[in-house]
């Protein structure tokens, strides 16, 4: 089975005579990426431009403008460039000593030898220089004596280079919730645990062949000769641990990208192994997962969504739907505002739900663009309803955790509202609770700024994160929006219902209303109403609907009112 090597080294050929460049190119191109320069000056430009990826330079000595000696001299004086090995090309025996003194690694005599000899000397020089670089840098993780993450991929490429026909697995091993071990038993004990895992991995790679590193605190990357029995592998690593830890506390997760194709890069193979490992997040106890078709399809699907984003935005495939919120404090529920929710009508996949693309866009920063689009649509909608019905329906928009990092966000929203003649009280912002816990300082500052300008901020998905009571009292906010998961399971006097009651008490203490979303049934509605919940959103009243349809709800609601509320 012929496997493609994914890593081709780059070399630079410097010679003023075209015929010489051609000859060397013909010899080297099957094995290397080759770039060229026709004198010392352009050579230095090329070297500077490609320094980080240049594996070797083949350098003619006699050239116009700037000759080979001068190039060697400049390289030697540069701390970064001096690491690139140079083979000097010369027909003059006496120049050899001088070039070696100037730091050349080797020389090739003109007229050239057999191509095989030239290739062998090139690869020999590269190997020597790479090995010495590996020895110089901090190669090993002090705790486990495995490679460091910086080294792992470099060494991995070399490993592939020298064992290009070995079948290899990319494996990511993670200790789930390792911080608990540190917290319960102290860091010194945590270190012993990691050491033990490292020891187990070392034994395995020594026996089967491969390399490994500690990628970060509790994650290990293992590049191992292809295995049949992953369960056995996991058990072996685990066994070493059971001397230290009680079995139920051991939560090793292993993600595997088995030797399938090397047509994807080493880095990509580990990314896929990591994806397989992350798919086990919710599981308890030790487990492994192999990257499979389903994960691959998800990866391809995600890549497509990312690729199609700009086009979709341009072609108005994103639509904003509105879901009503009803104030239930009075005798009869009153429409009091709407939440703007995005959907994507994809020409090929049909309707794509936000859960499929929001997290993806958050990773890639596209969310900022999308959210700005939604925010703008929402302001236009408020204006539009005001003109059509003579009433204002306040709209709440979602603010992603990523938006918080955008220094211009607050200003953008303020301008939007101002431009469209909308009162700040009519524009509400929903920020998910976990964003507060992720980055509390930044968020507190942004939210303060927005509130100072008059906007109201609702804490979304409340109960899904880990805000402490202490923190809540310090946080600026105007409403708590209960996480849907509670509502889903409430019934008289059960655990979820007591949670809801607790949140209502907290809200009372903070002096803010509580919004319950995801309310679907009349039973849920009554339970919440009796408990003293203020505002309800959910299928019980309506799904998120297009603005035209929403117009009907407004008409139903208003006869002669100035403003909904």
Tokens 């003649």 correspond to 421
Choice from 218, 377, 461, 557 touching Ca ion (CB under 5 A): 461
C-alpha span between 439 and 459 (Å, rounded): 14
Choice from 294, 355, 548, 559 touching ligand C2E (CB under 6 A): 355
b/e sequence 357-390, b meaning 16+ C-beta within 10 Å: bbebbbeeebbbebbbebbbbbbbbbbebbeebe
Q: Give me the least distance between CB of 374 and ligand C2E, in Å please.
A: 4
C-alpha span between 133 and 127 (Å, rounded): 10
The entry of Ca ion, ligand C2E, none near residue 463 (CB within 5 to 8 angstroms by kind) is none
Q: Can residue 406 be called a binding residue for ligand C2E (CB under 6 A)?
A: no
Asked if residues 340 and 370 have their Cβ atoms less than 8 Å apart, the reply is no
Q: Give me the least distance between CB of 357 and Ca ion, in Å please.
A: 15
The entry of ligand C2E, Ca ion, none near residue 518 (CB within 5 to 8 angstroms by kind) is ligand C2E
DSSP 112: P
Choice from 55, 176, 381, 398 touching ligand C2E (CB under 6 A): 398
| Neighbour-count burial of 441, counting CB atoms closer than 10 A to its CB (0-12 exposed, 13-18 middle, 19+ buried) | exposed
Q: Can residue 433 be called a binding residue for ligand C2E (CB under 6 A)?
A: no
Q: Can residue 520 be called a binding residue for ligand C2E (CB under 6 A)?
A: yes
- For ligand C2E, the binding residues in 356-375 under the rule CB under 6 A are 358, 367, 371, 374
* Candidate ranges 255-263, 278-286, 424-432, 464-472; the one touching Ca ion (CB under 5 A): 424-432
Q: Beta-strand (E) ranges in 347-455? A: 350-352, 395-399, 427-432
Write down the H helix ranges in 51-186. Answer: 68-76, 95-101, 115-136, 149-162, 178-185
Choice from 304, 353, 369, 495 touching ligand C2E (CB under 6 A): 353
Q: Can residue 261 be called a binding residue for ligand C2E (CB under 6 A)?
A: no
Q: Give me the least distance between CB of 328 and Ca ion, in Å please.
A: 18
- For Ca ion, the binding residues in 395-414 under the rule CB under 5 A are 398
C-alpha span between 123 and 113 (Å, rounded): 15
Query: With respect to Ca ion, which residue has the nearer C-beta, 433 or 557?
Result: 433
Query: With respect to ligand C2E, which residue has the nearer C-beta, 198 or 538?
Result: 538
DSSP 243: T
Query: With respect to ligand C2E, which residue has the nearer C-beta, 218 or 461?
Result: 461
- For ligand C2E, the binding residues in 499-518 under the rule CB under 6 A are 517-518
Asked if residues 162 and 218 have their Cβ atoms less than 8 Å apart, the reply is no
Asked if residues 415 and 453 have their Cβ atoms less than 8 Å apart, the reply is no
Q: Can residue 539 be called a binding residue for ligand C2E (CB under 6 A)?
A: yes
Query: With respect to ligand C2E, which residue has the nearer C-beta, 159 or 462?
Result: 462
DSSP sequence for 281-338: TT--SSEEEE--HHHHHHHHHHHHHHHHHHHHHHTT-EEEEEEEEEE-SSSS-EEEEE
Q: Is 408 left (phi over 0), alpha (psi -120 to 50) or beta?
A: alpha
Query: With respect to ligand C2E, which residue has the nearer C-beta, 341 or 382?
Result: 341
The entry of ligand C2E, Ca ion, none near residue 520 (CB within 5 to 8 angstroms by kind) is ligand C2E
- Establish whether the linkage from the previous residue to 505 is cis, with ω within 30° of 0: no
* Candidate ranges 59-67, 272-280, 392-400, 535-543; the one touching Ca ion (CB under 5 A): 392-400
Residues in contact with ligand C2E, shown as a per-residue x/- string from 331 to 350 under the rule CB under 6 A: ----------xx--------
Tokens 């540069």 correspond to 78
| Neighbour-count burial of 471, counting CB atoms closer than 10 A to its CB (0-12 exposed, 13-18 middle, 19+ buried) | middle
Residues in contact with ligand C2E, shown as a per-residue x/- string from 442 to 481 under the rule CB under 6 A: ------------------xx--------------------
Residues that bind ligand C2E (CB under 6 A): 323, 341-342, 353-355, 358, 367, 371, 374, 398, 400, 430, 460-461, 517-520, 538-539, 544
Residues that bind Ca ion (CB under 5 A): 398, 430, 460-461
């Amino acid at each position: 089975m012929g496997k493609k090597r994914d890593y081709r080294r780059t070399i630079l050929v410097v010679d003023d005579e075209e015929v010489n460049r051609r000859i060397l190119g013909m010899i080297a191109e099957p094995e290397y990426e080759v770039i060229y320069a026709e004198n010392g000056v352009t050579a230095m430009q090329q070297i500077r431009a490609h320094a980080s990826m240049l594996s070797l330079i083949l350098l003619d000595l006699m050239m116009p403008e700037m000759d080979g000696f001068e190039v060697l001299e400049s390289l030697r004086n540069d701390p970064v460039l001096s690491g690139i090995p140079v083979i000097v090309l010369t027909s003059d025996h006496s120049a050899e000593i001088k070039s070696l003194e100037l730091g050349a690694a080797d020389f090739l005599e003109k007229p050239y030898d057999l191509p095989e000899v030239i290739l062998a000397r090139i690869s020999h020089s590269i190997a020597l220089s790479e090995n010495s670089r590996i020895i110089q840098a901090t190669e090993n993780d002090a705790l486990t004596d495995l490679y460091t993450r910086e080294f792992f991929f470099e060494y991995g490429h070399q490993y592939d280079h020298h064992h290009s026909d070995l079948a290899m697995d990319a494996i990511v091993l993670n200790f789930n919730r390792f911080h608990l071990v540190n917290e319960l038993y102290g860091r010194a004990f945590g270190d012993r645990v990691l050491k033990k895992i490292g020891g187990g991995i070392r034994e395995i790679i020594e026996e089967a062949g491969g390399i490994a590193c500690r990628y970060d605190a509790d994650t290990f990357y293992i590049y191992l000769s292809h295995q049949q029995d992953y369960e056995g592998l996991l058990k072996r690593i685990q066994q070493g641990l059971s001397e230290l830890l009680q079995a139920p506390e051991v939560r090793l997760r292993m993600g595997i990208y088995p030797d399938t194709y090397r047509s994807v890069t080493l880095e990509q193979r580990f990314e896929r192994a990591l994806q397989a490992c992350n798919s086990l997040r919710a599981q308890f106890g030790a487990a492994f997962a192999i990257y499979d078709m389903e994960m691959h399809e998800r990866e391809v699907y995600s890549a497509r969504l990312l690729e199609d984003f700009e086009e979709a935005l341009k072609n108005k495939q994103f639509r904003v739907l509105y879901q009503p919120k009803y104030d239930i404090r009075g005798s009869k529920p009153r429409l009091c505002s709407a939440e703007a929710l995005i959907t994507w009508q994809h020409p090929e996949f049909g309707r794509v739900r936000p859960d499929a693309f929001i997290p993806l866009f958050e990773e890639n920063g596209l969310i900022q663009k999308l959210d700005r689009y939604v925010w703008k649509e929402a302001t236009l909608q408020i204006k539009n309803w005001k003109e059509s019905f003579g009433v204002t329906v306040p709209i709440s928009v979602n603010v992603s955790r990523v938006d918080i990092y955008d220094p211009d966000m607050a200003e953008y929203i303020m301008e939007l509202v101002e431009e469209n003649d909308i009162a700040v009280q009519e524009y509400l912002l929903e920020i998910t609770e976990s964003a507060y816990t992720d980055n509390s300082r930044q968020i507190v500052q942004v939210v303060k700024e927005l509130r100072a300008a008059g906007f109201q901020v609702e804490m979304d998905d409340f109960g899904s994160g880990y805000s402490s009571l202490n923190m809540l009292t310090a946080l600026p906010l105007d409403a708590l929006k209960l996480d849907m998961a509670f509502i889903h399971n409430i019934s008289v006097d059960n655990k979820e219902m007591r949670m809801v009651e607790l949140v209502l008490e907290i809200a009372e203490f903070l002096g803010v209303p509580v919004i319950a979303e995801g309310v679907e049934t009349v039973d849920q509605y009554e339970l919440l109403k009796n408990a003293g919940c203020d505002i309800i959103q959910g299928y019980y009243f309506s799904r998120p609907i297009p603005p035209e349809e929403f117009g009907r709800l407004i008409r139903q609601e208003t006869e002669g009112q100035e403003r909904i509320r």
